[in-house]
A = this chain, B = another copy of it.
Amino acid sequence: MGINYFRRDDRDTRFVLFEHMGVDKILTYEPYKDFSADDFKMIVEEALKVCREVVGPTMQDGDREGCKYHEDGSVTVPSSYHEAWRVLAENGWMAVTKSQEFNGQGLPPIVGGLIGEFFTGANMAFMTFPGLAVGNGNLIENFGTAEDKALFVEKMYTGVWGGTMCLTEPDAGSDVGWLRTKATPDPESGDPRIYKIEGTKRFITCGNQNLTENIIHLLLARIQGAPTGTKGISLFIVPKIWVNPDGSLGEPNDVFCAGIEHKMGIHGSSTATLNFGENGRCRGILLGEPNSGMAKMFQMMNEARIGCGIQALGIAASAYDAARFYARERVQGPLFTNRAGGRVPIIQHEDVRLMLMNMKAGTEAMRAFVAKLLYLADVGEHDSDPEERRKAAQRVELLTPLVKAYLSDFGYLLTREAIQLMGGVGYCSEFPAEQYARDIKIVSIWEGTSYIQSLDLVGRKLGIAGGTVFQEWIQEVMAFSGKNKEDTDLVKDFKLLFKAAQATGDIAMKYMQYFQEGKMSLIPLSSVRFLECFAETVMAHLMLEQALIAREKLKEVDAGSADGFFYRGKLETAKFFCRNILTNVFARYTAIQQEDTSPVDIPEGAF
């Protein structure tokens, strides 16, 4: 077994959950009536324990052993995964936020997301398997018939069966609408919902494995005669092994795994090419109405995109843990500010402090962002006030592309920082930093690249409710910074926040102008930058909210106690975020103001 590097503590998680977001409101919602704040606290502690003892030990091990493809089309996962899978399944750690009706735990999304950070931080590759099983099960729960639900959902929530999302094809990546997989009615089956499936899907995460007796693929295909593009795509349940009406397993369903990819990271997660219906015997069950597949898949995709933010947070926070523990133990030369002093643990070195702060501020802001979004998701679904529900749900829509794109790109940079801090050791595979960098890189690619997210933001989300959702956000940030502008400690920070919100608002206004003036090419040339400005402003806002709370709490505790360190640290961390990370907004703003079109003006032959 590889070395277990999972060493997360839950202090900041508890802060976010109980001191910043708060759970009182959520606890009043009908689905959570049987829970208490203490339950959540206990669940967070238990999750940490499972990650430390069960999932963490499989990370390095799984990277080294990897998934293996065999000529008969079977795939074996790293051997240590089986026991971890068993423990998670038996103890209900898979479908933590899903309905108790199908044996999920029914926890609120914010709790699910915060413990999800631990699990993905303990071994992201491993967690792709339960993640897809549960996500798929949820889609069937939402859109399936009573029979579909009875057949599939509980088994997918409890680790009996796995799942995959089959979207990508060799010739259709970001461009899903181009897919070629065909579905044709199968009159012989006697069931109008059953179709014959034929096509090839590529880059299918968890596409084949030997963890579960069956895998339930959710597959996008075009029914014969359906419109071209995304409007003619339908969603099918395609079991690897056919499931009989009584729930027993039938015949293999003509789904052949043609190979798995060798990848930069997540070696323990199988990325497969799947051939459906090579022998004309693959059957799928239509899920919902014909041609409604994209909309349904988007529901799962939205959840998966927030999931990507959680993955990025999980790995970045583990990279920070690796770096801070190393920095405490590693002794090197004297401080820059005290050259005559002796050798000290490098956690005292100024540059190491700078890197640690970058990781600390980065991961805490990511955690706050994820928690805020999941909190709002709950309000948007369950609040008794319809206006509150609408506002929260729309805010979630607006912010989802930010969480997906920004956190995944920023997370990659933070893993780089961990490698750099650890020096040669950071580059060596005995230590975890380089694996974190390799594993996290996929997150900015799958579930829609950062650019795709930025188009979703600019093309769809900015315009929700005539742009008022975005406008309300800007006003909220400006009111918050305006109200606190006299704050002695944080005067610089509130000023930076105000200016960043202003810059972000200005860019959005520019986009309106570009649309009107037909300067369309300026939009895709700056949309990722705009998304980054927006995300950093959201995160700075959250960090300053946390700073104000921490400063109040500090009055009640001994400054030298563990809580004292935590609250003082929080205050400094918020400053750091505003002064060192949020300031990037201004470079991007300057760049956008140049309205540079050189990338489209340059002749293609010059590349």
Contacts and interface: CB of A to CB of B under 8 A. Distances in A.
A109 to B, nearest CB: 28
Interface string A381-404: 000000000000000000000000
B424 A332 contact: no
A441 B427 contact: yes
A583 B573 contact: no
Interface string A414-432: 0010011001101111100
A103 to B, nearest CB: 33
The count of identical subunits is: 2
A215 to B, nearest CB: 20
Given A423-B173, A572-B601, A598-B573, A351 B579 contact: no
Contacts of A202: 424
Given A331-B171, A350-B525, A607 B360 contact: yes
For the residues of A in contact with B, the DSSP-based class is helix
A380 interface: no
Contacts of A244: none
B523 A333 contact: no
B572 A606 contact: yes
Interface stretch (A90-98, A291-299, A585-593): A585-593
A451 interface: yes
Given A336-B520, A587-B587, A449 B423 contact: yes
Given A333-B178, A350-B599, A569 B607 contact: yes
Contact of A579 (B426, B442, B598): B598
A357 B455 CA distance: 19
A15 interface: no
A597 to B, nearest CB: 9
A575 B557 CA distance: 55
A29 interface: no
B455 A427 contact: no
A580 B607 contact: no
A484 to B, nearest CB: 17
B430 A261 contact: yes
B594 A583 contact: yes
Given A351-B528, A583-B590, A599-B356, A607 B324 contact: yes
Lowest 8 CB-CB distances: which A-B pairs, in order? Answer: A569-B606, A587-B587, A264-B434, A350-B524, A175-B333, A565-B605, A353-B599, A579-B594
Interface of A: 168, 171-175, 177-178, 202-203, 261-265, 271, 324, 327-328, 331-333, 336-337, 343, 347-351, 353-354, 356-357, 360, 412, 416, 419-420, 423-424, 426-430, 434, 437-438, 441-442, 444-446, 449-451, 455, 492, 496, 520-521, 523-525, 527-528, 562, 565-566, 568-570, 572-573, 575-576, 579-580, 583-588, 590-591, 594, 596, 598-607
20 contacts: A174-B423, A327-B607, A336-B523, A347-B607, A351-B528, A353-B599, A354-B525, A420-B445, A424-B445, A427-B442, A437-B441, A568-B603, A569-B605, A570-B606, A572-B598, A579-B591, A579-B598, A580-B594, A585-B587, A586-B587
